[in-house]
Amino acid sequence: MSTFVIESTRSGFVESFHVVSVAVVSAESTLVAAAGDPDRVTFWRSAAKPFQSLPLVQDGAADRYGFGPRELALACASHSSEPVHRALAMQMLRASGCEENQLACGPHPSLSQAVAEEALRAGVALTPRWNNCSGKHAGMLALARHHGWDPTGYASAGHPVQERIQDEIAKWTGLPRDALVKGVDGCLAVCFGLPLRAMATAWARFGISEDPAARRLREAMLAHPDLVAGKGRACTDLMTAFQGEAVVKIGAEGVYCAALPRARLGVALKVEDGDARCAAPALLTVLRFVAEQQGIPLPMTGLEHHAEPRLFNTRGEVVGSLRTAGSLGFA
């Protein structure tokens, strides 16, 4: 099996390296390319959000509460807690008759360093709307309201919201329900553990599906990449640059997934030591390899800072970078 790593360099010397497992799979579940262990079981984390949001659309809750493309993009987001993100999450809650204190996710500093520093300087008391998952949770609450389910405990295993989501994830991954490992995500919602190959299969199918709900979510993410992440964040910058050629979504602990609709392929990767810094350069390199092999035009201009992130000392001087090494093995 091919080896693929991210090297951390300092003053021209490789200080450490981070092994990456990759699965590139067709919509028909065929493994097209891989590195490391493509059957590695790990938690899907936030790269599962589009699939967790499918019931919101399929069951009619999105239409009932007037959720358009912007709200659907936020439901799939790991947002930066920018003012537009927080305001939209609150709008979603109000539309379904819910309040911020019903959000199971707790507050945390923004994923954007600039936004986090601004909030700290201003002495802002963070509330659940600041959580990067507040859009997803607002969607889950709307789903509970729509069905008349008690919203209490909506994020916990066994609640009808989570059971409905588990059914959908099993459908898109092709795995039996009981094959999914269940854990508690950072935002308190259920997260699912499954092989990278199954994640990539689901993303390949998501990228080409004519299912109305999948199409609406996919188009919402592509139309509003600024809401899926935020200014300067990889998901936003990649989808903006790729101009519809790829749909991407990061997850915690070094997980990143993507769909390449033109090639009918899905990608799932895991930085084995969980180093989140390495996820974006890993995904960009994998997408470049696949695009070249498939003959897909995938613009990379303007993404250099994601492809090889620079490392700085405390004076802001560049001392090294994260760079990729190794390759994918194609079937």
Residues 6+ apart with CB under 8 A from 106: 128, 131, 187, 188
CB-based contacts of 248-251 (< 8 A; 24+ apart in sequence): 248/283, 249/46, 249/47, 249/49, 249/50, 249/76, 249/78, 249/221, 250/46, 250/47, 250/78, 250/279, 250/280, 251/43, 251/44, 251/45, 251/46, 251/47, 251/48, 251/78
| Contact predicate 49/228, CB 8 Å | no
- Whole-number pLDDT of residue 306: 97
DSSP string covering 261-309, please? GGGTEEEEEEETT--GGGHHHHHHHHHHHHHHHHT-----TT-HHHHS-
Residues in the chain: 331
| Contact predicate 183/42, CB 8 Å | no
| Contact predicate 111/234, CB 8 Å | no
CATH C-level class of 4-330 = alpha beta
DSSP bridge partners of 20: 271
- List average pLDDT for each run of 10 residues in the chain, which is 331 residues long: 93 96 97 97 98 98 98 98 98 98 97 96 97 98 98 98 98 96 97 98 98 98 98 98 97 98 97 97 97 92 95 96 94 82
What is the torsional sign of CA 238, 28, 39, 191? positive
What is the torsional sign of CA 212, 213, 217, 218? negative
Q: What is the DSSP letter of 35?
A: E
- Whole-number pLDDT of residue 200: 98
Would the pTM count as exceeding 0.85?
Answer: yes
- Whole-number pLDDT of residue 1: 72
What is the torsional sign of CA 310, 313, 319, 322? negative
Ranges of each domain in the chain: 4-330
- Whole-number pLDDT of residue 331: 82
Instruction: Identify which of 49, 38, 13, 77 has the alpha carbon closest to the alpha carbon of residue 268.
Output: 38
Distance (Å, whole) CA 328 – CA 307 = 16
